[in-house]
Structure 1
Amino acid sequence: MISVLREIIVNGTERRIDALGRIVLPANIRNKLGLKTNSKVFICLNDDAILITSAEKHCALCGHNIDVGKELRLCADCIEKVKNSH
C-alpha cells in the first residue's frame, strides 16, 4: 500500500477547479489513457477519491470496467439481465 501511495505522490499533479467545476487533465495522463478531444470519461467516487477512466471500457448500464465491443457496450451480466427481462 505504501508503494502505491508513493507512486501516486510521485506521478500526481495538483490542479485547481474552476468556477464551473472543471479541471484540466494533464496531457501525459490523457495520452496514457488514449483520451482525445471529445472522448467520454467515466467518473465515480471511490471512498474519498475521484476515479476517472475511459468510458469506452465501461458497461453502459452498470458501469463495471470490462472489455466491450465498439457497437454494444454491455457487460455479460447486463446482457443476461436484458435477455431475461423479456
Structure 2
Amino acid sequence: MMKSTGIVRKLDELGRIVIPKELRTTYRIKEGDPIEITTAEEGILMKLYRPGCSCCNEVSELTEVNGIRLCADCIQKFVRGGQR
C-alpha cells in the first residue's frame, strides 16, 4: 500500500522531477545513485537500485561469477548440485 507524502512536484520540459530533500535524506539517496523505476496497479514506483543475486535476489555476500551475481548460499547450492 502506498502512503501519500503530501508533496507535489511538476515535471519539467524533459520529463524530470526533483525528489524532495526530505525523502532523499530519509531513504539515504545520494547524487548519482541508481534509481529503479517500475510500474504497479497503483502507479509508478521508484526505489534505490540495489542489484541482488541472480537466483534469489539476496543482496549480501555477493560474488560475481562470469558476469553473474550470486550470493554465498546459491554458490553452495550449485557446488553441492554439481557433486554427484
Comparing both structures, which one devotes a greater share of its residues to helix? Answer: 1
The CA RMSD measured in Å over matched residues stands at 3.3
| CA distance in structure 2 between the aligned counterparts of 1:50 and 1:18, rounded to whole angstroms | 17
Q: Match of 1:42, SS?
A: strand
- The answer to whether the 8 A contact 1:68-1:75 is kept is no
Match of 2:24 among 13, 26, 30: 30
* DSSP-derived class of the 1:31 partner: helix
Q: Which runs of 5+ in 2 are unaligned?
A: 79-84
Partner of 1:59: 52
Deviation at 1:32, TM superposition (A): 1.0
For residues 31 and 67 of structure 1, do their structure 2 counterparts lie closer, same or farther at Cα, with a shift above 3 Å needed?
A: farther
Sequence identity percentage: 23
**Which residue of 7, 14, 31 corresponds with 1:13?**
7
Identify the match of residue 44 of structure 2 among 45, 50, 55.
Answer: 50
Mark the runs of 5 or more structure 1 residues left unpaired by the alignment: none
Higher strand share: 2
Q: Measure how far apart 1:34 and its partner are.
A: 0.6
TM-score normalized by structure 2? 0.60
Report the TM-score, using the length of structure 1 for normalisation. Answer: 0.59
Instruction: Select the structure of larger CA radius of gyration.
Output: 2
State how far apart, in whole Å, the 2-side matches of 1:38 and 1:29 are. 15
